[in-house]
């Protein structure tokens, strides 16, 4: 499978070409280069995945991991070394498919969405860079390579969020995203260092005999790595960057902040899963609790946001938390005995990437049409944008967990895994799932149903109350709708993929079977959520909605402000670190450290000034001192 | 009482008084004249020691040459500018104290030191012997310092002309 | 002659320190030069006295005195040349005016 | 003839050649020729050195030669290089080369500027090739003195104050250093000044080592911006002209780290082992403290100077770990920091040359006005905060992995504290990038400014290529350094 190297090299070349020569390129050429590269990458990824799975299982009934490339990149001491290479395993093959598919869709979509934007070539260059780094991350042969690409992913996310670099909000958001994830990466790095020191290797599969002694510190290392993952995957309380990251272009949000990069944390935990399950099951449970809390928190916040991208952002946080929970509730490596969550998590990752990508691209299409992110500027769009409407609805149904759309299957597996772990966890996650259905349909109704903002404005204009004719919403061009349709199609059928055949916690084949009880319950709950949303929002904001808003004013306000988590972080960074630590240190340096040196210099100067008059140049004075000195010395010599 | 002692005492008295006037007089011309007395007194001492040539040289070079130069410069510069103001009291006291202490110390040392002086013979120095010593090249002879002296005098003459020359 | 050597030496010491005192306290270049001459003179006396009393057979002290007189003449010549030059530049030979070397 | 001597001879020949130049073009021609020759020489040296090593040459130092200079004190002009010096020579020639182009248009007194500049580089080259304590010290001083004039005459702002402060502090360091060197010389029996021979004898009594290790380490440490002796750095860098900042932060500060390693650690291993904890604490403070101070600064050069304090602190920190990986990381960090900070200072100088301000509150939206410089700045920033693919990453990772290899609570704690600097670095870098490059230009005057000229582009591109080359293919340089590090730590590890 030597050709897999091309999967990495092609986007890198595309990045270099577009980055260096982009300025002299017409937009069309740049877009074409970027997109064609991605077509090739996608084809190669599918080919690699198919070839890999088609090769079949080995004697022990698992898909053998292959490493077509692995070379020493940077030696860290006599035994440790950072290697660079390509590792194809079931999950990395699956990730290749996810990333290349979504990325290709985004590339095509952006041809329309970003048309005529200043910096179009730069945009495609960054997309290529991101694709390169994300692919490098998933095919990493060792934890350090993963970290290397992890950082690259972070920086491409930074560059893309800050794409509109003249917008202050985008600048702040990109900075925030980078610094928050960087902060989390610090723990990741320390985790890696501990891991490397005690196991003597950075590879994912250390020697068993080493693990026997290193086992005691592994939980610490793995917990620290999880914190790194939590940063990238926006787990509470490190989630604050993700909603702000929506300042970037919408296709970027679809690619990076919905489908691929944010699941890197999940992928990391999945990668290290054998170690987690073998040596640190208690850390897995911590992950489960953190995930469950995040899922609930994000779902509540998503229910009251008015910016449609923010709703999607919180929904992403919540869904990723589902995947984390699924991994966290695993109690054994055997999918039949408590290891189901692993498969469920990966399955959900796969389906979520597709339908969340679709949602974001749909949202992009809407924003493209109405030139606003705010729900108040939307409403009644279904007749203006039929394709967007239908695909968006499909995605909403999928995320809400309605069969036969893909989300139902993966979420069902997660819920089953949760019930297997403990009933409270199952119930808790089911409620969050119902909330998912509610807020997604709230969003759906607010956008596509209710009173049309356009029509209201038009009426105002015709009555003369408004001086400019409102912009009529229109369906997006084919370059944008085709990716929507493709993703919608995948969303419809992905649920029927026998996912367990390819990926499971111990690598052996596992046949998915729907647990009827859990499935029924979750469908009912989802339907209830949808029904509630229908009542409240189908005809605009009904009286019931107003009443509820009135009664729950304070909690809604708190939820709208994301329970003031951003303010807490702001307080820590601005007030404590910036004003409380950094500024005093700078002052201390200038005035105390430097001041004491200056004082030394001043003292020397003063002392000089003090004895300078003695060098008066007056020979008489000199001679008086001279004679006095002679007498003194004589006296000393004489009396001693 | 020895006549020599009387002569010495009167010479010493004149010299010390003249010296004191020389360094305290507020008028430069007077100070110069007092200096002349000191120099003559010194010549007298040389004669008492039977160093007649030395005494003669003292009178001609010092009293005759140097003092004339002093007078010359004083007159050249003019009376108005040769204004001998005394220094500040502090320095005056300091100078007095240091000079007095030094003098006391020196006299004390002279009194307590045994110079192993032999009896004064009163033999003068013959001019021939002096000439031989100055021009001789042997041990205890002074041809080289003599020549160096002459060069020094030449250099000083040239130097003095150079410095004082009007540009 | 039966004057003890100490008398002569004390006389020269007194002259010397009177010269020193003058050197310390005078503020005029010519006066300073006078004090200096006085000190030189005192030293010459010492040379002569030591020669006469301690080493009657030799001539070192004698000749040193002689040289001293010569050097004094040379030195005075140069010093007076300098004084004249100073006067020409500063229109004064008061040492308070000569501050260019200070500090 | 020994190839290393050329490193001293070429600048020496450049001095009279510059002296004789009659106009600016001749001066530039001499400088360009000289710095290209030196660069070519160091590249050749690197290739030849690696070839010799690959051919199985195992001597600790290659190209050694020695000429007795002053026999009574055993002073020799002896040269020789190992992997570390080769790497440092390469770094120096790159910085000197790019610095020449960065000061292509310096005014006034171009000729005199380049004279001092060449003298400075002469000192630097001489320092890295010397293996004799005295000659090393002499070249060290040769490198320091021109700094005073270069800052005091061609600088900006409070230049006299800064130049004086810088020179006095570094001279103070030299005083300690001289004592340390003499202590080493006499402690080892006063038979030789050659570093390798002293190390081979390894006979300095322990009590003397305890006295002279701190002296030597502080002496070099002052130049390596060791807390609390770092305050010359912000003022000095802020006032220095561009290429001097580049050379100073890029190469001169490395003299400190190199000297600590080559002299203090190599010759006084026992004391280094016993006393390292004191200096580890100081360097840890440097690392975090420099980074935190940088957050609050508003002058671009101050930000970068404090960042240098932090990064150079990491160099000394790694050296003091006394372990092979960390020390390799320290040398890598020197290379990396040298290139990055040179790039930074070059860019800041170019921006300052146009806007006449370095205050980040007055700069805005430069990305629109001077895209080339702005992109260069972003790249420099990303390299500085340790992005993989640039040199900063490999250096930091090697340092941290090495430091983590020592299994005791003290070293673990300080390593983790030092690690936090990578987050703080990100904060101040992104703060500046966000503030001055992004956004809409506010100052009307600034909107008229032009982008980089050809010589500026050349400087920036050269440095970026070097940083990326080191960051993408670190293996060869890591191996190159590793070889020298092993030898130097051999003494120390043997005593364990």
Tokens of D17: 């050649």
User: Which pLDDT score, from 0 to 100, does residue B44 have?
Assistant: 92
Give residue for tokens 């040199």: D391
Relative orientation angle of helices B67-77 and B28-48, to the nearest 10 degrees = 180
Distance from CA of C78 to the nearest CA of B (A): 5
Taking Cα atoms as reference points, which of A519, A404, A584, A502 lies closest to residue A56?
A: A502
Whole-angstrom distance between the N-terminal and C-terminal Cα of chain D? 40
Asked whether residue B46 is domain-assigned, the answer is yes
The structural domain count of chain B equals: 3
Domain span holding position B91:
86-115
- Which residue of D168, D226, D401 to mutate against A (max A Cβ within 10 Å)? D401
Residue A27's alpha-carbon distances to A112, A114, A116, A122, D304, in angstroms, are: 11, 10, 8, 10, 37
- Tell me phi and psi for residue D132, to 5 degrees: -110, 130
Q: How confident is the model at residue D456 (pLDDT cuts 50, 70, 90)?
A: confident
- Which residue of A617, A623, A631 to mutate against C (max C Cβ within 10 Å)? A617
Q: Please, which chains are in contact with D (at least 3 CB pairs closer than 8 A)?
A: A
User: Which pLDDT score, from 0 to 100, does residue D495 have?
Assistant: 62
SS3 content of chain C, % helix, strand, coil (to 5): 80, 0, 20
User: Which pLDDT score, from 0 to 100, does residue A603 have?
Assistant: 92
Q: Please, which chains are in contact with A (at least 3 CB pairs closer than 8 A)?
A: B, C, D
Nearest-angstrom CA–CA distance, A460 and A457: 5
User: Which pLDDT score, from 0 to 100, does residue A577 have?
Assistant: 81
Query: Which of the residue ranges B55-59, B163-167, C39-43 would you say has the lowest mean pLDDT?
Result: B163-167
pLDDT at B69 over 80: yes
User: Which pLDDT score, from 0 to 100, does residue C47 have?
Assistant: 92
- 8-state DSSP, A70: E
Locate the chain C residue with the closest alpha carbon to A618.
Answer: C102
| Among candidates B95, B120, B125 on the partner chain, residue whose Cβ is nearest the Cβ of C21 | B95
* Bridge partners of residue D75, in order along the sequence: D70
User: Which pLDDT score, from 0 to 100, does residue B1 have?
Assistant: 62
Distance from CA of B44 to the nearest CA of C (A): 11
Over residues B93-152, the pLDDT tens digits come to: 888 999 999 999 999 988 888 877 777 776 777 888 888 888 888 888 888 988 998 999
Q: How confident is the model at residue B86 (pLDDT cuts 50, 70, 90)?
A: low
CB A450 within 8 A of CB A380: yes
pLDDT at D171 over 60: yes
Q: Does B91 touch chain A (CB under 8 A)?
A: yes
pLDDT at C1 over 70: no
Nearest-angstrom CA–CA distance, D185 and A533: 86
Nearest-angstrom CA–CA distance, A399 and A428: 17
CB C17 within 8 A of CB C23: no
User: Which pLDDT score, from 0 to 100, does residue A574 have?
Assistant: 80
Over residues C44-76, the pLDDT tens digits come to: 999 999 888 888 878 888 888 999 998 888 888
Tokens of A33: 């280069």
User: Which pLDDT score, from 0 to 100, does residue B38 have?
Assistant: 92
Distance from CA of C42 to the nearest CA of B (A): 8
Asked whether residue C54 is domain-assigned, the answer is yes
Determine, for residues B98 and A620 on separate chains, whether the beta-carbon distance falls below 8 Å.
no
- Chain A neighbors of C23, CB-CB under 8 A: 620, 623
Q: B97 and B130 in one domain?
A: no
User: Which pLDDT score, from 0 to 100, does residue B83 have?
Assistant: 54
| Among candidates A615, A617, A620 on the partner chain, residue whose Cβ is nearest the Cβ of C23 | A620
CB A524 within 8 A of CB A434: no
DSSP letters along chain B, please?
--HHHHHHHHHHHHHHHHHHHHHH-SBHHHHHHHHHHHHHHHHHHHHHTT-HHHHHHIIIIIIIIIHHHHHHHHHHH-TTT-B-----HHHHHHHHHHHHHHHHHHHHHHHH----PPPP------HHHHHHHHH--STT--HHHHHHHHHHHHHHHHHHHHHHS--
User: Which pLDDT score, from 0 to 100, does residue C10 have?
Assistant: 92
Mean pLDDT computed over every residue of chain D: 87
Nearest-angstrom CA–CA distance, D224 and D261: 11
Taking Cα atoms as reference points, which of A47, A187, A28 lies closest to residue A121?
A: A28
Nearest-angstrom CA–CA distance, A163 and A157: 10
Nearest-angstrom CA–CA distance, A14 and A24: 15
Asked whether residue C26 is domain-assigned, the answer is yes
User: Which pLDDT score, from 0 to 100, does residue A218 have?
Assistant: 87
Q: B77 and B97 in one domain?
A: no
Angle at A500 between CA A495 and CA A504, to 5 degrees: 135
CB D391 within 8 A of CB D471: yes
Nearest-angstrom CA–CA distance, D223 and D242: 19
- Chain B neighbors of A628, CB-CB under 8 A: 98
Locate the chain B residue with the closest alpha carbon to A623.
Answer: B95
Over residues D226-255, the pLDDT tens digits come to: 888 888 888 888 888 888 888 888 888 888
Asked whether residue C60 is domain-assigned, the answer is yes
User: Which pLDDT score, from 0 to 100, does residue B84 have?
Assistant: 56
Asked whether residue B31 is domain-assigned, the answer is yes
% of chain D residues with pLDDT over 90: 17
Locate the chain C residue with the closest alpha carbon to A612.
Answer: C103
Tokens of D135: 């000659």
Determine, for residues A182 and D423 on separate chains, whether the beta-carbon distance falls below 8 Å.
yes
- CATH code of the domain in which B11 resides: 1.20.120.1200
Q: Does A623 touch chain C (CB under 8 A)?
A: yes
* Bridge partners of residue D194, in order along the sequence: D132
Asked whether residue C103 is domain-assigned, the answer is no
Q: B73 and B1 in one domain?
A: yes
Q: B33 and B108 in one domain?
A: no
Q: Does A634 touch chain B (CB under 8 A)?
A: yes
Q: B162 and B134 in one domain?
A: yes
| Among candidates A615, A620, A623 on the partner chain, residue whose Cβ is nearest the Cβ of C103 | A615
Nearest-angstrom CA–CA distance, A97 and A103: 10
Give residue for tokens 């995605």: A395
- ipTM value, please give it: 0.76
Q: B67 and B7 in one domain?
A: yes
* CB-neighbour burial class of residue C96 (10 A; exposed 0-12, middle 13-18, buried 19+): exposed
Over residues D259-318, the pLDDT tens digits come to: 988 888 888 888 888 888 889 999 999 899 889 888 888 888 889 989 999 999 999 999
Determine, for residues B23 and C71 on separate chains, whether the beta-carbon distance falls below 8 Å.
no
Q: Name every residue whose Cβ is closer than 8 Å to that of residue A525 and which is 6 or more positions away in sequence.
A: A430, A431, A433, A434, A437
Q: B79 and B45 in one domain?
A: yes
User: Which pLDDT score, from 0 to 100, does residue A520 have?
Assistant: 87
For chains B and C, CB pairs below 8 A equal 247
Q: Does B95 touch chain A (CB under 8 A)?
A: yes
Answer with the one of B27, B62, B84 that is the final residue of a domain.
Answer: B84
Helix (H) or strand (E) holding C48: helix C29-54
| Among candidates C24, C99, C101 on the partner chain, residue whose Cβ is nearest the Cβ of A620 | C24
Q: How confident is the model at residue D59 (pLDDT cuts 50, 70, 90)?
A: confident
Determine, for residues B91 and A631 on separate chains, whether the beta-carbon distance falls below 8 Å.
no
| Among candidates C67, C69, C93 on the partner chain, residue whose Cβ is nearest the Cβ of B145 | C67
Q: Name every residue whose Cβ is closer than 8 Å to that of residue A315 and which is 6 or more positions away in sequence.
A: A298, A299, A302, A356, A359, A399, A436, A439, A440
Q: How confident is the model at residue D68 (pLDDT cuts 50, 70, 90)?
A: confident
Domain span holding position C24:
5-97
Distance from CA of B95 to the nearest CA of A (A): 7
Q: Which ranges of A114-140 would DSSP assign to H, the alpha helix?
A: 120-138
Q: How many CA atoms lie within 13 A of A5 on its CB side?
A: 9
The structural domain count of chain C equals: 1
* CB-neighbour burial class of residue B126 (10 A; exposed 0-12, middle 13-18, buried 19+): exposed
CA torsion sign, D110 to D112 to D113 to D118? Answer: positive
| Among candidates B86, B152, B164 on the partner chain, residue whose Cβ is nearest the Cβ of C81 | B164
Nearest-angstrom CA–CA distance, C1 and A28: 129
User: Which pLDDT score, from 0 to 100, does residue B165 have?
Assistant: 77
- 8-state DSSP, A471: P
Helix (H) or strand (E) holding D81: strand D75-81
- 8-state DSSP, C94: B
User: Which pLDDT score, from 0 to 100, does residue C92 have?
Assistant: 75
Q: B94 and B20 in one domain?
A: no
- Chain C neighbors of A620, CB-CB under 8 A: 23-25, 32, 95
Determine, for residues A616 and C103 on separate chains, whether the beta-carbon distance falls below 8 Å.
yes
> Chain A 567-626, CB below 8 Å of chain B: which residues?
620-621, 624
| Among candidates A77, A158, A583 on the partner chain, residue whose Cβ is nearest the Cβ of D402 | A77
Asked whether residue C73 is domain-assigned, the answer is yes
| Among candidates A624, A631, A635 on the partner chain, residue whose Cβ is nearest the Cβ of B95 | A624
pTM: 0.83
Max alpha carbon distance in chain A (Å)? Answer: 120
Query: Which of the residue ranges A451-460, B53-62, D123-132, D292-301 would you say has the lowest mean pLDDT?
Result: A451-460
Residue A478 backbone zone (phi > 0: left; psi -120 to 50: alpha; other: beta): alpha
- CATH code of the domain in which C58 resides: 1.10.287.3510
Q: How confident is the model at residue B79 (pLDDT cuts 50, 70, 90)?
A: low
pLDDT at C39 over 90: yes
- Chain B neighbors of C88, CB-CB under 8 A: 166
Asked whether residue B120 is domain-assigned, the answer is no
- Which residue of A619, A624, A625, A632 to mutate against B (max B Cβ within 10 Å)? A624
Higher pLDDT, A467 or D164: D164
Q: B111 and B101 in one domain?
A: yes
User: Which pLDDT score, from 0 to 100, does residue B162 have?
Assistant: 85
Tokens of A256: 């990076």
- Chain C neighbors of B115, CB-CB under 8 A: 5-6, 50, 53-54
Q: Name every residue whose Cβ is closer than 8 Å to that of residue D117 and which is 6 or more positions away in sequence.
A: D31, D99, D100, D103, D146, D150, D243, D244, D247
Nearest-angstrom CA–CA distance, D468 and A82: 18
Over residues D202-231, the pLDDT tens digits come to: 888 888 888 899 999 999 999 888 888 888
Answer with the one of B84, B106, B138 that is the final residue of a domain.
Answer: B84
**With a cut of 70, which residues of chain A have pLDDT below it?**
540-542
> Chain A 484-523, CB below 8 Å of chain C: which residues?
none
Q: B78 and B2 in one domain?
A: yes
User: Which pLDDT score, from 0 to 100, does residue A65 have?
Assistant: 84
């Amino acid at each position: 499978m030597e050709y897999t190297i091309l999967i990495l090299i092609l986007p890198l070349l595309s990045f270099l070409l577009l980055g260096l020569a982009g300025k002299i390129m017409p937009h069309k050429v740049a877009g074409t280069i970027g997109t064609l590269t991605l077509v090739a990458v996608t084809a190669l990824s599918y080919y690699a995945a198919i070839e890999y799975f088609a090769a079949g299982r080995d004697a022990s009934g698992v898909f053998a991991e292959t490493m077509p490339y692995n070379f020493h990149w940077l030696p860290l001491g006599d035994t440790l070394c950072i290697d660079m290479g390509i590792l194809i395993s079931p999950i990395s093959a699956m990730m290749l498919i996810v990333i290349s598919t979504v990325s290709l869709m985004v590339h095509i979509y952006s041809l329309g969405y970003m048309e005529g934007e200043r910096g179009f070539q730069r945009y495609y260059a960054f997309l290529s860079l991101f694709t390169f780094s994300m692919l490098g991350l998933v095919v990493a042969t060792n934890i350090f390579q993963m970290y290397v690409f992890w950082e690259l992913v972070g920086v491409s996310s930074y560059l893309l969020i800050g794409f509109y670099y003249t917008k202050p909000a985008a600048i702040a958001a990109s900075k925030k995203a980078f610094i928050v994830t960087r902060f989390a990466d610090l723990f990741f790095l320390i985790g890696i260092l501990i891991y490397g020191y005690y196991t003597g290797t950075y590879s994912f599969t250390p020697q068993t005999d080493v693990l026997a002694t290193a086992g005691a510190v592994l939980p610490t290392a793995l917990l620290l790595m999880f914190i790194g993952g939590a940063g990238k995957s926006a787990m509470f309380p490190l989630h604050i960057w993700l909603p702000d990251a929506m300042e970037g272009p919408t296709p970027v949000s679809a690619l990076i902040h919905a489908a691929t990069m944010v699941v890197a944390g999940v992928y990391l935990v999945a990668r290290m899963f054998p170690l987690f399950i073998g040596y640190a099951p208690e850390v897995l449970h911590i992950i489960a609790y953190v995930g469950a809390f995040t899922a609930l928190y994000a779902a509540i916040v998503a229910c009251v946001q008015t910016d449609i991208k923010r709703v999607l952002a919180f929904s992403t946080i919540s869904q990723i938390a589902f995947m984390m929970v699924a991994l966290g509730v695993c109690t054994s490596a055997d999918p039949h005995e408590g290891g189901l969550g692993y498969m469920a998590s990966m399955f959900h990752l796969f389906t979520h990437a597709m339908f969340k990508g679709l949602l974001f691209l749909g949202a992009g299409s809407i924003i493209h049409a109405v030139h606003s992110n705010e729900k108040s500027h939307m409403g009644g769009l279904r007749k203006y944008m039929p394709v967007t409407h239908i695909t968006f609805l499909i995605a909403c149904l999928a995320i809400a967990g309605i069969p036969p759309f893909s989300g139902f299957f993966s979420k069902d597996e997660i819920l089953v895994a949760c019930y297997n772990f403990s009933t409270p966890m199952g119930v808790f996650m089911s409620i969050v799932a119902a909330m998912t259905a509610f807020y997604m349909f709230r969003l759906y109704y607010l956008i596509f149903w209710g009173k049309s903002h356009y029509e209201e404005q038009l009426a105002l204009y015709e009555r003369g109350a408004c001086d400019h004719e409102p912009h009529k919403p229109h369906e997006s061009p084919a370059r944008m709708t085709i990716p929507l349709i493709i993703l919608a199609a995948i969303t419809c059928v992905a649920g029927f993929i026998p996912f367990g055949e390819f990926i499971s916690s111990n690598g052996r084949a596992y046949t998915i079977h729907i647990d009827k009880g859990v499935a029924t319950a979750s469908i009912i709950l989802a339907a209830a959520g949808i029904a509630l949303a229908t009542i409240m929002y189908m005809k605009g904001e009904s009286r019931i909605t107003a009443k509820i808003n009135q009664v729950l004013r304070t909690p809604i306000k708190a939820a709208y402000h994301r329970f003031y988590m951003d303010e807490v972080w702001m307080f820590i960074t601005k007030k404590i670190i910036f004003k409380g630590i950094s500024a005093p240190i700078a002052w201390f340096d200038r005035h105390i450290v430097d001041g004491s040196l200056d004082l030394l210099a001043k003292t020397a100067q003063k002392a000089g000034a003090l004895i300078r008059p003695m060098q008066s140049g007056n020979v008489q004075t000199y001679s008086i001192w001279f004679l006095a000195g002679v007498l003194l010395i004589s006296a000393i010599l004489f009396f001693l | 009482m020895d006549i020599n002692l009387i002569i010495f005492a009167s010479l010493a008295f004149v010299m010390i008084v003249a010296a004191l006037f020389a360094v305290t007089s507020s008028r430069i011309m007077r100070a110069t004249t007092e200096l002349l007395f000191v120099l003559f007194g010194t010549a007298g001492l040389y004669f008492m020691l039977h160093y007649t040539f030395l005494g003669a040289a003292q009178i001609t070079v010092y009293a005759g040459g140097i003092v004339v130069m002093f007078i010359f410069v004083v007159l050249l510069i003019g009376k108005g500018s040769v204004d001998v103001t005394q220094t500040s009291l502090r320095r005056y006291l300091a100078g007095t104290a240091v000079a007095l202490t030094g003098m006391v110390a020196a006299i004390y040392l002279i009194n307590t030191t045994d110079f192993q002086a032999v009896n004064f013979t009163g033999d003068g120095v013959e001019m021939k012997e002096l000439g031989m010593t100055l021009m001789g090249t042997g041990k205890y002879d002074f041809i080289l310092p003599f020549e160096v002296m002459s060069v020094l005098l030449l250099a000083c003459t040239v130097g003095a002309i150079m410095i004082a020359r009007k540009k | 002659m039966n004057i003890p050597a100490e008398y002569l030496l004390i006389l020269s010491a007194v002259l010397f320190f009177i010269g020193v005192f003058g050197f310390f306290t005078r503020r005029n270049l010519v006066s300073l030069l006078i004090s200096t001459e006085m000190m030189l003179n005192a030293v010459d006396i010492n040379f002569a006295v030591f020669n006469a009393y301690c080493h009657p057979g030799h001539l070192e002290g004698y000749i040193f005195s002689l040289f001293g007189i010569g050097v004094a003449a040379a030195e005075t010549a140069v010093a007076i040349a300098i004084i004249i030059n100073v006067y020409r530049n500063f229109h004064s030979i008061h040492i308070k005016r000569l501050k260019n070397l200070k500090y | 003839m020994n190839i290393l001597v050329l490193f001293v001879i070429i600048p020496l020949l450049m001095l009279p050649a510059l002296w004789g130049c009659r106009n600016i073009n001749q001066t530039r021609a001499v400088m360009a020729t000289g710095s290209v020759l030196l660069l070519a020489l160091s590249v050749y040296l690197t290739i030849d050195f690696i070839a010799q090593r690959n051919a199985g040459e195992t001597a600790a130092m290659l190209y050694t030669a020695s000429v007795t200079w002053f026999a009574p004190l055993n002073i020799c002009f002896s040269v020789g290089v190992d992997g570390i010096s080769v790497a440092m020579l390469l770094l120096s020639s790159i910085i000197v080369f790019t610095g020449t182009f960065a000061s292509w248009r310096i005014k006034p007194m171009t000729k005199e500027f380049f004279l001092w500049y060449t003298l400075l580089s002469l000192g630097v080259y001489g320092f890295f090739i010397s293996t004799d304590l005295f000659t090393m010290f002499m070249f060290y001083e040769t490198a320091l003195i021109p700094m005073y004039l270069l800052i005091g005459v061609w600088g900006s702002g409070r230049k006299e104050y800064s130049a004086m402060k810088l020179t006095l502090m570094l001279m103070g360091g030299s005083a300690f250093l001289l004592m340390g060197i003499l202590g080493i010389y006499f402690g080892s029996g006063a038979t030789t000044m050659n570093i390798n021979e002293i190390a081979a004898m390894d006979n300095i009594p322990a009590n003397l080592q305890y006295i002279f290790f701190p002296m030597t380490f502080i002496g070099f440490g002052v130049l390596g911006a060791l807390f609390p002796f770092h305050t010359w750095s912000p003022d000095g860098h802020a006032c220095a002209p561009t290429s001097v900042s580049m050379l100073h932060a890029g190469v001169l500060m490395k003299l400190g780290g190199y000297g600590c390693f080559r002299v203090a650690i190599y010759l006084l291993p026992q004391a280094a082992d016993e006393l390292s904890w004191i200096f580890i604490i100081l360097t840890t403070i440097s690392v975090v403290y420099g980074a935190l101070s940088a957050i609050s600064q508003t002058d671009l050069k101050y930000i970068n100077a404090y960042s240098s304090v932090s990064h150079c602190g990491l160099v000394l920190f790694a050296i003091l770990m006394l372990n092979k990986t960390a020390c390799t990381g320290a040398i890598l960090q020197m290379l990396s920091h040298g290139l990055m900070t040179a790039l930074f200072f070059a860019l800041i100088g170019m921006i300052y040359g146009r806007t006449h301000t370095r205050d980040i509150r007055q700069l805005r939206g430069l990305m629109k006005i001077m895209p080339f410089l702005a992109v260069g700045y972003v790249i420099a920033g990303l390299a500085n905060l340790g992005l993989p693919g640039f040199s900063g990453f490999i250096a930091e990772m090697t340092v941290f992995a090495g430091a983590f290899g020592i299994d005791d609570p003290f070293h673990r704690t300080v390593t983790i504290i030092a690690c936090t600097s990578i987050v703080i670095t990100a904060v101040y870098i992104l703060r500046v990038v966000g503030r001055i490059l992004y956004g809409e230009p506010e100052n009307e005057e600034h909107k008229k400014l032009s982008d980089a000229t050809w010589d500026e582009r050349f400087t920036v591109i050269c440095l970026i290529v070097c940083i990326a080359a080191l960051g993408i293919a670190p293996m060869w340089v890591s191996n190159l350094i590793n070889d020298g590090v092993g030898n130097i730590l051999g003494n120390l590890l043997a005593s364990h």
